[in-house]
């Protein structure tokens, strides 16, 4: 089935989760390229500031306050887009909330709330977009995670929600295409990205969480999203480090378990107490906005050779070579560490 998408400069783009992080970083270049953009999230103050920034640069944008866990509020996003700009060409589901802790420590209420935002928010947005686009077609871009393919400790519920997003997205794509509906359905799988998610996450660990290195700038994800908005593509990885997880899971799942048991607890923790600071699991916080976060103090990668190669087909062979190289380095390194004799205690 042929799906034809308008150039970004001719589109009406809805970005959900646009008050900060990946969503905000996507809305800005979309508007700079000429798209009319609808920004949606819970935090009205930061949505308004994002719209002001876009308009100050000559872009066209409006905002709609919405909690994606509520299907009725998601419908109001669509109503705003159609009222202000006449239609919807691309719908980006990028809303998310962080929750850190062992699955036996995290409350069921908190686990359900995270699922409501990440999974059900994606379902609400996707269904609303399909109903609005219909036979006119368009693009739906769902932001999952590298963790949609492989769970890690301390983020079990987040991983489960992203697994569910992947399954829903794949099923929706097949069903729409089988029915001849010309809507492109893309799953984006980012690696670790430097966004405010971590400083706003609810933590049961007693300390502030941080992303797992290597960490990429959110522009790497935004570029992949805008590529999917303009050209039908099934799935895109944003950040070459994310290539390792599904292949490691397929080739050496037990070894991958042992590596994560050794490394992935401390790697996700800072040494800073979380204290009584607010989180945004149930409501936005005052310092919600911004594209980059505060919790990551290490190096941040400004680009991804792998993702750039995938987005530019002439370099796809390079992407494959890079992906295999990264994977082999990770697996062989883990195997050497696994086989090394234990250090003597002192």
Helices 253-263 and 244-251 cross at an angle (nearest 10°) of: 120
Structure confidence by residue, pLDDT tens digits, 20-48: 999 999 999 999 999 999 999 999 999 99
Return d(Cα 346, Cα 338) in angstroms, integer.
21
Return d(Cα 105, Cα 265) in angstroms, integer.
14
pLDDT at 131: 98
Question: What stretches of 248-299 adopt beta strand conformation (E)?
Answer: 269-273
pLDDT at 204: 99
3-state secondary structure at position 93: strand
Q: Is the pLDDT of residue 324 over 60?
A: no
CB count within 10 Å of CB 107 equals 12
pLDDT mean across residues, the chain: 92
Return d(Cα 189, Cα 162) in angstroms, integer.
9
Structure confidence by residue, pLDDT tens digits, 279-303: 999 999 986 778 998 888 888 898 8
Question: Average pLDDT for residues 42-70, to the nearest whole number?
Answer: 98
Catalytic residue numbers?
A: 158
pLDDT at 320: 58
**In the chain, domain spans:** 8-275+288-338
Kindly indicate the confidence band of residue 311, based on its pLDDT and cuts at 50, 70 and 90. confident
Return d(Cα 189, Cα 327) in angstroms, integer.
16
CATH number, domain 8-275+288-338, options 3.40.50.12280, 3.50.50.60, 3.40.50.740, 3.40.50.720: 3.40.50.720
Question: Average pLDDT for residues 334-342, to the nearest whole number?
Answer: 52
Place of tokens 């640069």: 57
pLDDT at 326: 60
CB count within 10 Å of CB 320 equals 14
Render 219-235 in DSSP notation, one character per residue: HHHHHHHHHHHHS--SE
Helices 316-339 and 244-251 cross at an angle (nearest 10°) of: 50
Structure confidence by residue, pLDDT tens digits, 69-91: 999 999 999 999 999 999 999 99
pLDDT at 282: 98
- The answer to whether the beta carbons of residues 249 and 149 sit under 8 Å apart is yes
Task: Select the highest-mean-pLDDT range: 145-154, 237-246, 306-315, 331-340.
Answer: 145-154
Percent of the residues in the chain that have a pLDDT greater than 90, as a whole number = 82
3-state secondary structure at position 237: strand
Structure confidence by residue, pLDDT tens digits, 178-235: 999 999 999 999 999 999 999 999 999 999 999 999 999 999 999 999 999 999 999 9
pLDDT at 337: 55
Instruction: Label residue 179 exposed, middle or buried (CB < 10 Å: 0-12, 13-18, 19+).
Output: exposed
∠ CA 27-233-179 to the nearest 5 degrees? 110
């Amino acid at each position: 089935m042929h799906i034809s998408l308008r150039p970004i400069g001719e589109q009406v783009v809805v970005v959900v989760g646009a008050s900060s992080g990946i969503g905000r970083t996507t809305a800005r270049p979309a508007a700079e390229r000429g798209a009319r953009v609808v920004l949606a999230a819970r935090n009205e103050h930061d949505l308004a500031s994002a719209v002001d920034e876009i308009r100050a640069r000559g872009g066209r944008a409006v905002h709609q306050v919405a909690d994606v866990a509520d299907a009725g509020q998601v419908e109001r996003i669509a109503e705003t887009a159609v009222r202000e700009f006449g239609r919807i060409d691309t719908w980006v589901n990028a809303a998310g909330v962080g929750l850190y802790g062992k699955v036996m420590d995290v409350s069921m209420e908190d686990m359900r709330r995270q699922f409501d935002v990440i999974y059900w928010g994606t379902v609400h947005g996707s269904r609303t977009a399909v109903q609005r686009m219909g036979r006119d077609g368009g693009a739906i871009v769902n932001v999952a995670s590298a963790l949609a393919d492989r769970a890690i400790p301390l983020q079990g519920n987040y991983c489960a929600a992203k697994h569910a997003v992947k399954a829903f997205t794949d099923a929706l794509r097949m069903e729409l295409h089988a029915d001849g509906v010309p809507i492109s359905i893309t799953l984006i799988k980012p690696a670790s990205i430097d966004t405010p998610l971590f400083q706003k996450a609810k933590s049961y660990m007693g300390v502030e969480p941080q992303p797992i290195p290597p960490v990429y700038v959110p522009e790497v994800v935004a570029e992949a999203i805008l590529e999917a908005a303009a050209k039908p593509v099934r799935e895109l990885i944003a950040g070459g480090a994310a290539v390792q997880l599904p292949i490691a899971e397929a080739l050496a799942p037990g070894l991958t378990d042992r590596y994560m048991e050794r490394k992935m607890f401390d790697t996700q923790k800072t040494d800073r107490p979380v204290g009584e600071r607010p989180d945004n699991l149930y409501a936005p916080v005052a310092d919600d906005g911004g594209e980059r976060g505060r919790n990551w103090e290490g190096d941040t990668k400004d680009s991804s050779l792998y993702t750039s190669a995938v987005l530019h087909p002439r370099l796809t062979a390079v992407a494959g070579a890079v992906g295999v190289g990264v994977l082999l380095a990770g697996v062989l390194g883990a195997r050497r560490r696994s086989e090394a004799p234990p250090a003597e205690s002192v």
